[in-house]
Chain A
């Protein structure tokens, strides 16, 4: 009986999520078609979907596996270059070519996920963070020095295949796969490794396998996001995928809350929109962004602010109770 109730509850949650997903899709499409968003607003929808994919996939490593990764832009760039080189050189119909490119980009990034996942087995904490950072920088300087990637000048002549519908579907697939992974037996194994690696190992969890699978999954979706990104901008430059890009994704994950998928989605939307909303302030944009970042971090975790928030909350509660009485 208890089991059945739980099942109903999870079903209800799933149904609500599906409804929200479909509603968001329809609303966005109506807004685009009716021109309410304008060209600039519509142009932001694809980057939002891309950032959601990146943030949700990074959340698997940072939030659920509990390892700090500073090289997510590296996975993205590998996938982007693989996918875009494929669409440039293969002459298939778009309907076949673009999904294939997404998969190829994802798989190439996943191979690199294995490569970077291997040191992750021996290292942890800050040492692993610096290895992922180093990996991102290595990828960037190799792409910079190769000929067939266009070098520092960038890869040009990419078709603009990315549109909102494709990006939205890709983002939804990312979210569904990662949420299902996290809620499965494997996901519980991954969070067990985060909480206490020694106990997890003692319980018979294959730490090597689960660390690798997390990196591979995250890399796959980051690579696919990279392919979308390349086909959105129609040009790829190695400079875009630097340390700052990785940090931007990490900021989204931390801001949304580590280990919270809805948090990542909301934060991805905010962080993508914030620089655009601040566009009029031009030079002051980054200054305000940085101050906002510091203040958000301080207010989220400083005990003084928590007290302050508690006070306000309790006042509100008292008020509502009085009104109820």
Chain B
């Protein structure tokens, strides 16, 4: 029981990171209708920024976090402007391959700048954990869960209440109609990329505080997992990304503890396939009505 609770906590921890990354995937997909495969590598950039700002330069944690978010935001928006904007009307596959090209570009740039060895990033979370009923709760878990819950609430409020949030909903519903209603589509898409990248930066910081090492390919696997989480929840749906991320994290850590470490990934992906067979648009995805 004690082990189960600890694993559940671990799963929630990992799931929160997945959920934060998945939010970026899902928001970009909802609005620009593209799979941004470079999103995972933004996490890696965030982690390297943290390495330079906090571990090497010793800046205070709030400055480091702010710096990470700003660097990722600028990077995300400029990627969108340079690589994706000219392809707004191209076929989805062309955009997908471009996104993969951007992902390779970020990885190989990191390889050239920082080398292929993984480097240690010190955790910026200094809160002490506690033991409750025999269960160890680490400071990292408390902060990760707290930050994720706060971000999700703020994001939901932002989308429901603010003008920009409503514009995002409108663009994801119908780009053409939104433009006719006076929504600045380009600005909205840029804002989406900025928010998604900032979330990825936060996810990168939290991921580093739990795992501690960063290499050029650090972002790839969490990126793919988060993509799976976004699809599991129904891609394009924000509550879906949160649910999918948390579920995926819990399933993964349970499978690792109780079944097999090697097969954990296979189980995660297997569950995704089974879910999609019964609910082809994910858990919370909208059903697409086919018109003849």
List residues of chain A with CB under 8 Å of any chain B CB: 62, 68, 119, 122-123, 126-127, 129-131, 133-135, 137-138, 141-142, 144-145, 198, 243, 247, 250-251, 254-255, 258, 283-284, 286-287, 289-291, 293-294, 297-298, 300-304
Contact = CB atoms under 8 A, between A and B. Distances in A.
Interface in B262-278: 262-266, 269-270, 272-273, 276-277
A129 B96 CA distance: 11
B105 A294 contact: yes
A138 B292 CA distance: 36
B86 A304 contact: yes
B276 to A, nearest CB: 6
14 contacts: A68-B92, A126-B35, A126-B235, A127-B276, A130-B231, A134-B269, A137-B269, A198-B290, A250-B97, A283-B111, A286-B104, A286-B108, A290-B103, A298-B98
Contact of A293 (B104, B107, B227, B281): B104
Given A126-B231, A298-B87, A145 B263 contact: yes
Contacts of A198: 290, 292
A283 B109 CA distance: 10
A247 B272 CA distance: 20
Contacts of B112: 283-284, 287
Nearest to B291: A198
Nearest to A134: B269
B119 interface: no
B34 to A, nearest CB: 10
Given A62-B93, A127-B235, A293-B104, 11 more contacts: A119-B276, A127-B281, A129-B35, A130-B276, A138-B270, A254-B93, A254-B97, A297-B87, A297-B97, A300-B94, A301-B87
Contacts of B92: 68, 126
Contacts of B139: none
Contacts of A145: 260, 262-263, 266
By secondary structure, the B interface counts as helix
Contact of B276 (A131, A138, A255, A303): A131
A288 to B, nearest CB: 9
A138 B112 CA distance: 32
B237 to A, nearest CB: 13
A68 B34 CA distance: 13
B236 to A, nearest CB: 10
By secondary structure, the A interface counts as helix
Interface in B82-104: 83, 86-87, 89-94, 96-98, 100-104
B280 interface: yes
A72 B111 CA distance: 27
Nearest to A286: B108
Contact of A131 (B91, B94, B97, B272): B272
A119 B224 contact: no
B104 A289 contact: yes
A301 B101 contact: no
A134 B262 contact: no
A142 B260 CA distance: 11
A290 B105 contact: yes
A247 B100 contact: yes
Contacts, number: 126
Given A134-B228, A298-B86, A290 B260 contact: no
B90 A301 contact: yes
A130 B90 contact: no
A293 to B, nearest CB: 4
B66 to A, nearest CB: 29
Contacts of B292: 198
Contacts of A243: 224
A300 B89 CA distance: 12
A217 B272 CA distance: 25
A294 B224 contact: no
A123 B266 contact: no
Contacts of A283: 111-112
A154 to B, nearest CB: 15
Contact of B105 (A137, A138, A287): A287
A297 B94 contact: yes
Given A284-B112, A301-B87, A138 B269 contact: yes
A141 B252 CA distance: 14
Nearest to A284: B112
Given A131-B273, A290-B104, A138 B235 contact: no
Interface in B60-91: 83, 86-87, 89-91
Nearest to B84: A298
Given A198-B292, A283-B112, A137 B86 contact: no
Contacts of B266: 137-138, 141-142, 145
B153 to A, nearest CB: 28
B104 A133 contact: no
A126 B130 CA distance: 43
Contact of B277 (A119, A251, A254, A301): A119
Given A141-B263, A142-B266, A294-B105, A134 B86 contact: no
B265 A293 contact: no
A127 B227 CA distance: 11
A134 B98 contact: no
Most buried by B among A129, A135, A289, A298: A298
Interface string B115-157: 0000000000000000000000000000000000000000000
A290 B102 CA distance: 7
